[in-house]
Structure 1
Amino acid sequence: MSAPSRPADWDPRASQVLADPIAAYDHMRRTCPVAHSDYLHHSVFRHADVMGIVLDHHTYGNAASRHLSVPNGMDPPEHTAWRRMIEPYFDGARVAAFAPACREIAAALVGALPQQAPVELMSALAHPFAVQVQCAFMGWPQALHQPLLQWVQARNAATLSADPRALAAVATGFDSTIRHLLQERRDAGNAAPDDITTALLRETIHGRPLAEEEIVSILRNWTVGELGSIASSVGIIAWYLAAHPALQSRLRRKPTLLRAANDEILRIHAPLTCNRRVPTRDVTLGGRHIAAGERLTLVWAAANRDEAVFGDPDECRLDRDPALNLLYGAGIHACPGAALARLELEAVIAALLAATASIEPAGSRPTPAVYPAGGHRQVELLLRPAAGS
């Protein structure tokens, strides 16, 4: 006989949650910090609980998916070996070497934006920038720009429809693209381009070459996360600056504050809503008994707005302790590409500020993206040209 289902504390897919997810997460953090639902199982909203979970990888495992996920869905010691192999691809030297190309892409895209007329920033800048910098970093050809943009559109449509068949088809299509890129490099042999994708084909783990499905998983994790979170972040930051002209002016006067400002804006409004963990033993969280193996959903978008840690969650302060910001996670599963993401966001927002005298809202507030995505689906802005441009 199956166990009776637990009563739901909330519905993550309710219309009022989807209409204003940040307000809904704030409400849950204050009233029901560990909440059950059929859709997300046990959602954890408080900063202390989330931080405690991500720092205790012995009690809370990351192997929460039935699909291969390298290294996100692995625990030590397997995770340790994969991270040791992956982290050099995002080290300081590689990120610094990529900076000029990244800034060139940002400047070219921003330079093509219409000024003195409303522009929908997600389609005109955020998504193209995410696609182009990802292709440039990975060594993928420009011919992939349009197919990847079409893939992003298809994924967004599938997410909006909540159709599992459409989502599965989108995932399969992306994996096929990656397999094609790998086969091209195998066929080229010594003439294959000297880039990250080729390097992965030559990597070993535990003394053996990587299997194709392992490389596909790595590139899927890097690319899907990059295309979604970078585009979302660009939209969130640009809209925030348009709605807060005093901060916009401050950053124009002192661009060295831009990186801290980006992190703080994305603390206030998260580009990535949540992540998963699975307890390896029975635990108690927020007064709730949770059995080993039950899924936990860590709601970054709520934890990063916890009044107990940040005071007024909507106050934008550039002097906060960066160790408290869960934007890029924490512990052994913290995002290995955080430095790259910060470079990319700094490059594109700096280019946007340099090319304009002001960035202003051009209509109503943006429509929220659909869970699990964060940020906005559309962002309408008016760009006033800088003097002499």
Structure 2
Amino acid sequence: MAPVSAAQDIPHTDVDPFCPETLEDPLPMQAELREAGPVVRLGRYGIHATARYEEVRAALCDWQSFQSAAGVGLSNFRYEQPWRPPSLLLEADPPHHDAPRTVLARTLGPRALRELREDWFADAAQLVDQVLTGHEFDAVTQLAEAFPLRVFPDAVGIPRQGRENLLPYGDFLFNSFGPANELVEQGRPRLAELSAWVDDQCRRTVLEDTGFGAAIWAAADRGDITHEQAPLIVRSLLSAGVDTTVHGLAAVLYAFATHPEQWQRLRQEPELARVAFDEAVRWQSPVQTFFRTATTDVELGGTSIAEGEKILMLLGAANRDPRRWDEPDVFDLSRDPSGHVGFGMGIHQCVGQHVARLESEALLTALAHRVEHIELAGSTRRHHNNTLRAWRSLPVRVHLG
């Protein structure tokens, strides 16, 4: 990043990225901020924001100038106490970030995914067979939520009892990255209960002897990480490994239910399953926003940002920036979606993204084998979250063939 130059006037706006109207449909707000300028000032929160692809990507990649250790939400950990011990992956920078990242990347590496592939494809086929006994169903609850909650906790090695706690815990976590609004308050009554349950699942004595969790504890035994770090890394898996995949799967199912010609193309070219998932992540951006904090006086997009100031990066807006993408509002399997920032970018890019891709590939492959046509069967409903673009209900009708 360039050093700070002379102060300039930048666009100011009172738009609220976290109000119910925006969470229901963020696209008008995103377009407004993109067109206002490379960086804008959000008067409501006294912070900077960037909605253009070039600046979002630049800030994500420059961890030296825009740190994560002060929190990836609106709260600034320099001055405010976080509600839980910070994540060693999301909320840490080098050198503290390096060893946990290396261990988790190795744990979720190609060999582990190859070993899971056959079982996950079989599980997906079994689930699809069960769901398709009826021709109308809710794609959120019966597929997008059911499949990750079926296979991912097994892979981590946590017991089956209590897995229903993962989604409300993750919902609070991602809400907490925004302002302390009504969404945060709605989740607070169960926070102690949910946090205690999640922390308990991270203990070595609770985890199965095989699986991602055991592999992380084994890394502690080898000295790759400390034994104090091990449960926090397992917690990172449970915190971020379910919700984002759930809403990514919902996004791709919604995309196909509203783009029948693209579904036909996938059936003809099933090898496009992974492209379809990434294009849906670009198009819908299940993770809409993340924050960074300037470590020094720095310039971004021609705007001076002072040391210690927060900047909001609108990932969803960047993923539809016409400066980067042709026809960005179109879901298109002909597109190369690589380079989208839906999984972040740089050293903090989502370490579990290949796990999510494998889950999506398994589920889409199973559906493509049996479903000739998929369409909406009623009104869809969004689930509001300060960080996620999520679905509550996605009723669909399928025609088998």
Same fold per superposition (TM over 0.5)? yes
* Closer/same/farther in 2, CA of residues 339 and 361 from structure 1, 3 Å limit: same
Matched with 2:22 is 17
- Aligned counterpart, 1:134: 152
Residues in 2 aligned to 1:36 and 1:87: alpha-carbon distance in whole angstroms: 36
Equivalent position of 1:75 in the other structure: 93
Alignment CA distance shift 1:157-1:381 (3 Å): farther
Q: 2:34 aligned with 1:29, yes or no? A: yes
> Which of 45, 48, 54 matches 2:60?
54
CA distance in 2, matches of 1:187, 1:235: 31
CA distance change for structure 1 residues 16 and 178 in 2, over 3 Å: closer, same or farther? closer
- The amino acid of 1:27's aligned partner reads E
**When the two structures are superposed, what TM-score results if normalisation uses the length of structure 2?**
0.83
> Which piece of structure 1 moves more, 59-68 or 317-326?
317-326
Report the AA paired with residue 182 of structure 2: A
C-alpha RMSD over aligned residues: 3.0
Shift of 1:26: 2.3
Residue type of the alignment partner of 2:195: D
Taking the TM superposition and a 5 Å limit, the aligned residue runs for 1:361-372 are: 361-367=376-382, 369-372=384-387
In the TM superposition, 1:153-192 aligns within 5 A as: 162-183=182-203, 185-186=204-205
Distance apart, 1:98 and its partner CA: 0.9
Aligned pairs for 1:279-294 within 5 A: 279-294=294-309
- 1:367 partner SS: strand
Partners of 2:247 and 2:286 within 8 A in 1: yes
Q: Does 1:259 find its partner at 2:274? A: yes
Q: Percent identity?
A: 26
Q: By how many angstroms is 1:246 displaced? A: 0.4
Of 216, 226, 233, the match for 2:248: 233
Q: Work out the CA distance in 1 between the residues paired with 2:202 and 2:278.
A: 34
Question: Against the structure 1 CA distance between its residues 153 and 228, is the aligned structure 2 distance closer, same or farther, given a 3 Å change threshold?
Answer: closer
- What displacement does 1:81 show? 2.4
Change over 3 Å in CA distance of 1:252–1:44 after alignment to 2: same
CA gap of 1:299–1:59, structure 2 versus 1, over 3 A, is: same
Task: Report how far residue 177 of structure 1 moved.
Answer: 2.0
| Secondary structure of residue in 1 paired with 2:290 | strand
Contact 2:89 2:97 in 1 (8 A): yes
Please give the alpha-carbon distance, in whole angstroms, between the structure 2 residues aligned to 1:385 and 1:278: 51
- Aligned residue pairs, count: 376
Where does residue 142 of structure 2 map in the other structure?
124
Offset of residue 33 of structure 1? 3.9
1:348 is matched with which residue? 363
Aligned to 2:211, which of 174, 178, 195?
195
Cα–Cα, structure 1 residues 32 and 262, in superposed 2: closer, same or farther, change >3 Å? same
CA distance in 1, matches of 2:391, 2:303: 33
Residue aligned with 2:323, SS: helix
**Equivalent residue of 1:143, what SS?**
coil
The structure with the greater share of residues assigned to helix is: 1
SS at match of 1:324: coil
Q: Identify unmatched segments of 5+ residues in structure 2.
A: 1-10, 72-76
Q: Displacement of 1:263 after TM fit? A: 0.7
1:89 pairs with 2:107: yes
The AA in structure 2 aligned to 1:42 is H
CA distance in 1: counterparts of 2:89 and 2:57, whole angstroms = 20
Kindly indicate whether the alpha-carbon contact (under 8 Å) linking 2:294 and 2:309 is maintained by their aligned counterparts in 1. yes
Structure 2 residue 264 is matched with structure 1 residue 249 = yes
> C-alpha separation between the residues in 1 aligned to 2:117 and 2:15?
44
Cα deviation digits, residues 273-324 of structure 1 (max 9, x gap): 1122111111233443321111112111011111011021123344545542
Segment drifting more, 167-176 vs 41-50: 167-176
Equivalent pair of 2:121/2:362 in contact (CA under 8 Å): yes
Alignment of 1:277-356 (within 5 A): 277-356=292-371
The residue that corresponds to 2:4 in the other structure is none
Does the 8 A contact of 2:380 with 2:393 survive in 1? no
Question: Relative to structure 1, is the Cα distance of residues 246 and 163 closer, same or farther in structure 2, using a 3 angstrom cutoff?
Answer: closer
Report the CA distance shift for 1:383/1:28 in structure 2 as closer, same or farther (over 3 A). same
Counterparts of 1:157 and 1:40 in 2: how far apart (Å)?
Answer: 19
Gaps of 5+ in 1: 1-5
1:181 and 1:51 mapped to 2: Cα distance?
Answer: 35
- With 46-55 and 23-32 compared, the bigger mean Cα shift is at 23-32
Task: Give 1:342 deviation, angstroms.
Answer: 0.7
Q: Write the letter of the residue equivalent to 1:59.
A: S
